[in-house]
Amino acid sequence: MTRYDYIKSVQDAYDSGRVDGATYDIMMQNADIFTDEEFDDVFYQLPPSYAEIEYNDFDDMEAVMGARFDDLNCLRYTER
């Protein structure tokens, strides 16, 4: 299983309510154990220091605008 497929299945399980937040975190931390590849192209493009702020409350317009900026920033970085 590729890292992308694994992360997608973990996210789907979390979104559908089959796993809770703590289980999701542990599954993401152990992704290397369950994937065949060391790196996928998608994740290899981002430097290890790349991080985005986690927004908890999307009712706040500042959080929505910040998340949109982060998405565009990531997209522009990976297009280089």
| 77-to-28, 50, 53, 67 alpha-carbon distances in Å | 23, 10, 16, 15
Q: Which helix (H) or strand (E) holds 5?
A: helix 3-16
This prediction has a pTM of 0.46
Alpha-carbon dihedral 10, 72, 64, 49, rounded to 10 degrees: 60
Nearest by Cα to 51 from 77, 15, 22, 14:
77
* Token digits of residue 11: 């996210």
pLDDT digits (tens, 9 = 90+) for 21-79: 999 999 988 888 888 765 555 555 666 666 666 767 777 787 788 877 877 777 776 66
Asked if residue 70 lies in contact with residue 53, where contact means CB atoms within 8 angstroms, the answer is yes
